[in-house]
Chains A and B, each alone.
Chain A
Amino acid sequence: MNVLSVQDLSVQFHDRHAKGETVSGLSLEIAPGEIVGIVGESGSGKSTAMQAVLGLLPERAEVMSGKMLLNGDSIAPPPYRDGRPQKQEQKAYEKKMQQIRGSQIAMVFQDPLSYLNPTVKIGRQITEAVRVHNKNCSRAQAKVRAAELLDMAGLRRPKESLDKYPFEMSGGMRQRAAIAIALACEPKLLIADEPTTALDVTVQGQILKLLARIAEETATAILLVSHDLGVIASVCQRVLVMQNGKMVEEGTVEEIFYDPRQEYTRLLIERASGLCALTEKKISGEALLTLKNVTKSYHSGRRNLDQKKFEAVRDVSFELYKGETYGLVGESGCGKTTVAKMITGVHAPSGGAVLYHGEELVGMQRQIQMVFQDPYASLNPRMTIRETLEEPLLLNTSDSPEIRKEKVTEIMKMAGLPPEDAGKYPRAFSGGQRQRIGIARALMLRPELIVCDEPVSALDVSIQEQILELLEQIQRETKVSYLFISHDLNVVKRISQRLGVMYAGSIVESGATESVYEDPWHPYTKALLSAILTPDPRTARRRRKMAAGGEQEKEVQYDTGCPFASRCGYAMECCHADRPKTYCFGDRKVACFLYSEEYTGRRSNDYKMTSQI
């Protein structure tokens, strides 16, 4: 029998702003132990539909359903009469749902940081879930169970983790804790709403593996909601494709990915695969920006006595040529953004030098501009687009109002925005349009270099592609250079000609994008690349078996040895004792002892190095 079967689910918001159905006519079924993926762009109503099943939507959302059965019992919400549900029925429904939520159906949300209460210990948040549905479970028993759950969710040292607060944990650990909460009462159905979107690639792979294991071992049915086709392809058995609140297509993963019947599905898959394609472009040999052994350290203790130096960026060197795109990849916290801040002049490096046109960079330069990650937070909501775009001109030039107006129109056209929208406020624009505004702002002063700090990671896949295309088009027209920072390897591969892979503040490998992707040398690059999820079920499944397990140790050895040594499967004795130098082989640079002379032997100049692992 099916764990959940929903027929004809519709959700309508009764709101002043938004009218119309967000979800209409959705039907789905899921059997024990099955993983069903729901895929669609943001705003397609996937999350709304899932919250409607659990009755988590606010009151102004009207949920209508033909049938909603959980193990054969109806859990359909009461129908609306005269614009609101009847009080008695609503109360009865709430009471029933309180028994079901957490014990029969549990949910894992996207951002574990905001979904965990910041002032309550993790242990307490788990024991609470255990004890709600199990009245005669004592505090001590609940604590033991909570430790078990954390252990099951793959957290190291579960007992100590119980006393931690959410902000003391890494993103992956938090998501594991959230999964532990969801599993507290052994639910029949687990709804995972974008469970890995906020996480790094390597952690993403581990979490997905965990979910697959849970489905297999405990026969829990899992509904996996994601916008990422790679995620869906790697774990799901069946897939539902949603667009604008409607189900477009349903089928097994193989059917959907290899033989999509609907135009929309085909388009989605094409775009996702398109991101993995490589670009080829020629670049001039003139170095625009050079980083020479740049280091940035922060002191944790204020006084000299207990001073602990933390090096956010350590000995980073690279060159950026005119008209090229240099990609910088790495997990969150690896120092990418700190590098960006030193290049834009927000921070001064504590060691080494940033050279621009061969001269040392002092303060901020109008020739170097920045595009930020969050298109919502980086625009002032009380300034019109014109004001936002004119501001750099007002500060740096003495243009007359007419010239300013002309420039704004020109740049807006270049960024693909209709110039007549200049009088509007940011709230009138969608995420993708806002990012275009952010790019337009960066272009206002005709810079030579634009630092893009995760410019597309907050956007949907199809919008990502548009923004990347826009960046490329602008580069063709204006010969601007980009430093492109991202944690998303697919995006970096798509746009950059050369790239550097960062780990714990250092660049561990760098070279031409194509050769690094085809033949990664450094063990970390290898791990990163094998963690990429491709929107192709067969290869994704093969990959999943190889993905590295276990939670990453946060305590990286900063002082001695290679920072990656504790996670590296190839670590030798020297890796813990000394820090590897950067070894150069033509265009390719790699910081790993596997490529040192002691390991590979003396080489002649025309020796062709290949991957050692």
Chain B
Amino acid sequence: MLKYTGKRILIGILSLFVLVTAAFFLTRLMPGSPFQSGNVSEDVLKSMEEEYGLDRPMTEQYRLYLGNLLKGDLGVSFKKPGVTVVEVIRRAWPMTAALGGLAILTAAVFGTLLGIWQASSGKKAVRGGIFLGTILGTGIPNFVIALLLMFFFGVKLKLLPIAGLAGPQNYILPVISLAVYPTAVIARLMQNTFREEMQKDYVVLAKAKGLKPGRTALTHILKNAWIPVLNYIGPAAAFLLTGSFVVESIFTIPGLGREFVNSIGNRDYTLIMGLTVFMGIVVIGINLLTDLMCAWLDPRVRRACR
């Protein structure tokens, strides 16, 4: 198991290196310069590029960047003088992480519960209702949901705040709008796998042992049914934790997603690079975590990775 983990970490670092390289050269290939605007003269542009080292050959810039990266230094933002990339991340990430983490937690809990409810309910109305809900949840884009939530709970009922992240109640609406889609997907997945597992022979044996249906579901079916769900939750969590531009913009939250999109518009090379590297670490880390959790849940996987 330890060997497997080590191997996975090594592969993660390697893919991170590939990501950094690709991102570095791709940003440099974008037309235009970070300091270009209507009222900047050729000379000023040149001297500024010189100061930031943009006039040097690309390979040298790349070598310099890699060296700094190893020291944990992601550089200074080109557009916001004096602000380091690390500072930007330190400011924006906690908000994004809190939103994303809460959203994925909500989605995992409610998606699982809804899926089990749909799979095991004897009532047609319940099954149909949840089914319709999951269809809508996967079909409606999150900005529509966000705007509708804002309109009803914020504007009409005046129950919840609609902008910023001042207090705990500020989190409710953005978390819901982020969580709807993964909840619906998890519920549908869970419903399917739970159904499938309920047909398995070991459930018949559990029944023949005299176990109550609820207990069978908890100790036998859930573990097996959760393994495919976990494989979805991993990538979904990675997606949410790296920030959603749309939802952050609607609720005016200065999160990572917004920073990222803005940095591309500004051609803020160091910021683009820094955020890409950071998001890469998050995605790779979460995927590693998912695989380890799968191995923890399923002894057959654990056996195979020895």
Contacts and interface: CB of A to CB of B under 8 A. Distances in A.
A132 B208 contact: no
Given A118-B224, A120-B219, A128 B209 contact: yes
A99 B210 contact: yes
A264 B205 CA distance: 33
Contacts of B205: 107, 109, 115-116, 178, 181
A107 B201 CA distance: 12
A101 B202 contact: no
Given A114-B202, A128-B219, A119 B299 contact: yes
Interface in A146-183: 165, 167-168, 178, 181
A274 B98 CA distance: 74
A184 B208 CA distance: 12
Contacts of A167: 299-300, 303
Size range of the chain B interface in the assembly: 20 to 34
B201 A119 contact: no
Contacts of A100: 210
Given A117-B224, A167-B300, A56 B204 contact: yes
Contact of A116 (B202, B297, B300): B202
A111 interface: yes
Contacts of A111: 201
Interface string A99-138: 1111100110101001111111000000011001100000
A601 to B, nearest CB: 50
A353 B34 CA distance: 70
A47 to B, nearest CB: 11
A546 B303 CA distance: 39
A54 interface: yes
B201 to A, nearest CB: 4
A132 B201 CA distance: 19
A473 interface: no
A515 B224 CA distance: 51
Contact of B224 (A103, A119, A129): A119
Nearest to A178: B205
Contacts of B219: 120, 128
Contact of A120 (B207, B211, B223): B223
A98 interface: yes
B220 interface: yes
Interface in B97-149: none
B63 interface: no
A422 to B, nearest CB: 33
Interface in B250-285: none
Contacts of B298: 119
Given A119-B224, A120-B220, A114 B209 contact: no
B212 A56 contact: no
A102 B210 contact: yes
A109 B206 CA distance: 12
Given A114-B202, A115-B204, A102 B209 contact: yes
Given A128-B219, A165-B299, A167-B300, A117 B209 contact: no
Nearest to B200: A114
Given A119-B298, A120-B223, A103 B210 contact: yes
Nearest to B207: A56
A118 B210 contact: no
Interface in B276-306: 297-300, 303
A307 to B, nearest CB: 15
B211 A132 contact: yes
Interface in B170-221: 200-202, 204-212, 219-220
Contacts of B224: 117-119
A102 B208 CA distance: 6
Contacts of B212: 98
B210 A101 contact: yes
Given A119-B223, A119-B224, A119-B297, A101 B204 contact: no
Nearest to A167: B300
A521 B45 CA distance: 96
B208 A101 contact: yes
Nearest to B220: A117
Interface string B54-75: 0000000000000000000000
A442 to B, nearest CB: 32
Nearest to B197: A117
A94 to B, nearest CB: 8
A168 B299 CA distance: 10
Nearest to B210: A102
A209 B195 CA distance: 38
Contacts of A129: 209-210
Contact of B202 (A54, A99, A117): A117
B223 A128 contact: no
Nearest to B297: A119
A103 B219 CA distance: 20
A118 B224 CA distance: 8
Interface in A418-448: none
Contacts of A109: 201, 204-205
Contacts of A98: 210-212
Listed residue (A51, A99, A128, A178) with the most chain B CB atoms within 10 angstroms of its CB: A128
Contacts of A54: 208
A325 to B, nearest CB: 36
A36 B212 CA distance: 30
Listed residue (B207, B209, B211, B220) with the most chain A CB atoms within 10 angstroms of its CB: B209
Nearest to B206: A117
A101 B200 contact: no
Nearest to A110: B201
Contacts of B206: 117
Interface string B204-246: 1111111110000001100110000000000000000000000
Contacts of B211: 98, 102, 128, 132
Listed residue (A100, A109, A133) with the most chain B CB atoms within 10 angstroms of its CB: A109
B77 to A, nearest CB: 46
B223 A106 contact: no
A367 to B, nearest CB: 38
B187 to A, nearest CB: 22
B51 to A, nearest CB: 51
Contacts of B220: 117, 120
B41 to A, nearest CB: 62
Interface of A: 51, 54, 56, 98-103, 106-107, 109, 111, 114-120, 128-129, 132-133, 165, 167-168, 178, 181, 184
Interface of B: 200-202, 204-212, 219-220, 223-224, 297-300, 303
Which 10 pairs show the lowest CB-CB distances between chains A and B?
A: A102-B210, A101-B210, A102-B209, A114-B201, A117-B202, A129-B209, A107-B208, A115-B205, A115-B201, A165-B299
10 contacts: A56-B207, A102-B211, A107-B208, A109-B201, A111-B201, A114-B202, A117-B202, A119-B223, A119-B299, A120-B220
